[in-house]
Structure 1
Amino acid sequence: MANNPSAIKRIGINNKKRVANQSQKSEMRTAIKTVEALVEAKDVEKAQVELKNTVKHIDKAVQKGLIHKNNGDRQKSRLTKKVNGLA
């Protein structure tokens, strides 16, 4: 258990940041699943619109350090291939 005030403060800060990071990662994953569902349904128009939104979520996660840059690039590439395959 933390003994000094600065360690106690860090525990609180780390918990807040962990919750915020989990929330942002969850939004990103949900956006990815939405695009994949639209690709399965073969809805080209909505998939293209949703892809732009998903790319923003992925880029924001990379910028904040939640996922590695190469991981974000790979996810964007795979989703773009799937959406372009429909058109």
Structure 2
Amino acid sequence: MANNKSAKKRILITKRNRLQNRFYKTSVRTLTKMLLSSLEAYKVNKTPENKEAAQKLLNSVYSLIDKGTKRNVFHKNTAARKKSQLALSFKAA
């Protein structure tokens, strides 16, 4: 356990940062799964509404990945790889 004031503060800061990082990582995973299921639905039923829904999800995943990269949750190359894979899956649908 921390014995001085600065060590206690570092523990609080680390806890805050861990929760923020976990939020971005889990949100990106969840939205990615939602996007992939939306793309599967679009493959089955190719309507403009399904494509528009998938496009909105893709935009929100991109936004969250970019915000996570800005806050050093994701490395820039990791973010680029994730976005590239999502774009390829969207294009293939």
The alignment's TM-score, normalised by the length of structure 1, stands at 0.88
RMSD: 1.2
Q: Structure 2, unaligned stretches of length 5 or more?
A: 43-49
Does residue 2 of the first structure (1) align with residue 2 of the second (2)?
yes
After superposition, where does 1:44-83 map in structure 2 within 5 Å? Answer: 44-83=51-90
The alignment's TM-score, normalised by the length of structure 2, stands at 0.83
Q: Distance in 2 between matches of 1:82 and 1:54?
A: 13
**Which residue is 1:35 aligned to?**
35
Structure 1 residue runs of 4 or more that deviate by more than 3 Å after TM superposition? none
1:29-76 residue CA offsets vs partner (Å, 9 max, x unmatched):
111111111112223221111101110011111111111111111111
Give the share of equivalent positions with the same residue, in percent.
37
1:10-46 residue CA offsets vs partner (Å, 9 max, x unmatched):
1112112211221122112111111111112223221
